[in-house]
Structure 1
Amino acid sequence: MKTKIYIDNEEFIAGTTLKDGTAPEHNNMAFHACVNPETVLENRKRLASFLQCNPKDFVCASQTHSANLHKVTLADKGRGAQVGATAIPDTDALYTTEPNLILSSFTADCVPVIFWNEVKGLVGVIHSGWQGTVKEITLKVFEHLKKVEGCKPEDFHVRIGMAISQEKFEVDEDVYVKFKALGYADKFMYFNETSEKYHIDNQKTVKKQLELAGVPEGRITIDRTCTYVSPDGFSYRQDKKAGRHLSFIMKKGN
């Protein structure tokens, strides 16, 4: 199983699956972007085996580039794990305090955000494509965790996973204007006069949102692997038929 692990200790395991040219559908993990759902199931079974858990332990959302979040309970175990239709609807962020659930986020250029909090025993994932970023999904999730779950921002560790790089993320003025309206993304954008396109660093914009929520910079790590360039990356921009990475985190239990 071609996988990149971001953390693996007594409490948590988190990471992302990688594109693998030798695997079925190149190790695609998403029902909504597959040729054969059975292949996705087999790929997820291999990931579950690698993580030493059950394929039914995955919890998946039907991602819609929203700013919606969902607190996962044991009743959600297995949602979207084996049948896409059972996924949590219209949701792009999941978090839980329950052990032995694999929270899942699917990306191919968009920014995955993985976080954990030892003090509260809380873990989560966020899917932040450019639409989610301009809707400030990450900032909203962390404001919710502070207000509703009583989390202190300085207690979080956050890993911003691999995504499309600023160099390869070209957009027109309509998208630029939306990032400009945030009021804090100017330094993460530039204009290419040759192509007449704007280039935006979505990862650094998300990092700024985390800092605005109070997460210390030293607790935020960015995986700068470009999904467009890297052979390990699925890129929707490069190939509209691309599969999806599965970014995951699990709180370990007895």
Structure 2
Amino acid sequence: MKTILYMDNEKFIAGTTLRDESAPEFNNMAFHACIDPESVLKNRKQLSVSLGCGPRDFVCASQTHSANFHKVTSADKGRGAEIGATAIPDTDALYTLEPNIVLSSFTADCVPVIFWNEVNGLIGVIHSGWQGTVKEITTKVFEHLKTVEKCDLEDFHVQIGMALSEEKFEVDADVYLKFKALGYADEFMYFNSETGKYHIDNQKTVKKQLELAGVLADRITIDRTCTYLSEDGFSYRQDKKAGRHLSFIMRKSME
């Protein structure tokens, strides 16, 4: 199974699965974008083995390009893990303070955001497609962590995962104007006069949101792999029947 581990230490393990021609459905990890759910289950079980956990340690959400988030507890273990219908509904970000829970986010061009707090052990994932970005889901999650969970945002590390590149993310004026209205994304967009299309760097826009929220710039890392251009990537823009990557993070038990 092809995966990237962004981090693996005594406290946390985090990474993303990759497109893999040797795996069922090219290593597709999502029930909502599969041909055969059994193929997804096989891929997830293989991932769980590599992470040293069980298939029901995963927690998944039914992603709707919302700005909604959910605090995961051990009672949520297994939701969406083996049956898609049990996923946490209408939610695009998950976080938890509990160990041995694999938080999951599914993408095929959208921006996955993986984060962890070195001090209190809080971890989380965010699915930020362009709709989530203009709804400022990342900003809202970190404002919540600061005000409700009493986190110091300078204690966070963030990994922005592979996504559609600025070169391949071309849009019409309606989407451009939504990014323009944010007031801080102008430097991450350009207009191609030959095609009449605008190009947007969604990853850097999300990074800006993190910085404006209070996360330190030098603690934010971006995987600049383009899901459209890379053989390792699933791209919905390239193929509407594409599978999905699973970006994950787990806090390890200290026992």
TM-score where L is the length of structure 1: 1.00
Matched with 2:201 is 201
Q: Residues 214-225 of structure 1 correspond to what in structure 2 (within 5 A)? A: 214-225=214-225
Q: Secondary structure at the match of 2:47?
A: helix
Distance 1:52 1:74 in 2: 17
Which residue number in structure 2 is paired with residue 177 of structure 1?
177
Any idea what SS the aligned residue of 1:99 has? coil
2:111 is aligned to 111
- Please state how far the C-alpha of 1:21 moved relative to its aligned partner: 1.0
Distance 2:197 2:118 in 1: 42
The secondary structure found in structure 1 opposite 2:104 is: strand
Give the match for residue 76 of structure 2: 76
Q: Cα deviation per residue 1:199-232 (whole Å; 9 max; x = unaligned)? A: 0000000000000101010000000000000000
- Counterpart check, 1:139 vs 2:128: no
Alpha-carbon displacement from aligned partner over 1:167-193 (angstroms, at most 9, x marks no partner):
000000000000000000000000000
The corresponding residue for 1:93 is: 93
Aligned with 2:183: secondary structure? coil
Partner of 2:48: 48
Give the number of aligned pairs.
Answer: 254
Which residue matches 1:128?
Answer: 128
SS of the residue aligned with 1:6?
strand
Counterpart residue identity of residue 251, structure 2: K
Q: SS where residue 190 of structure 2 aligns?
A: strand
- How far is 1:120 from its partner? 1.2
Q: Which amino acid aligns with 1:120?
A: N
Matched position secondary structure for 1:177? helix
2:17 aligns with 17
Per-residue deviation, 1:239:
0.2
**Alpha-carbon separation, structure 2, partners of 1:252 and 1:224:** 27
Q: Equivalents in 2 of 1:105, 1:7: separation in Å?
A: 16
Instruction: Report the Cα distance in structure 2 between the residues aligned to 1:22 and 1:121, rounded to whole angstroms.
Output: 35
Q: Which residue of 2 aligns with 1:31?
A: 31
1:224 is paired with a residue whose SS is coil
Divergent runs of 4+, >2 A: none
The structural deviation recorded for 1:22 is 1.3
Specify the SS of the correspondent of 2:99. Answer: coil
Note the residue ranges of structure 1 that are not aligned, 5 or more in a row. none
TM-score for both structures, normalised by structure 2: 0.99
Q: Structure 2 CA distance, aligned partners of 1:179 and 1:118?
A: 32
Return the offset for 1:52.
0.9
CA distance in 2, matches of 1:250, 1:79: 15
> Residue 195 of structure 2 aligns to a residue in which SS?
coil
Residue 188 (structure 1) aligned with residue 193 (structure 2): no
CA-atom RMSD in angstroms: 0.4
3-state SS of 1:195 partner: coil
Deviation of 1:79 (Å): 0.2
- In the TM superposition, residue 139 of structure 1 has moved relative to its aligned partner by 0.5
Tell me how far apart the structure 1 counterparts of residues 22 and 118 of structure 2 sit (CA, whole Å). 37
Distance, in Å, in 2 between the alignment partners of 1:42 and 1:216 is 38
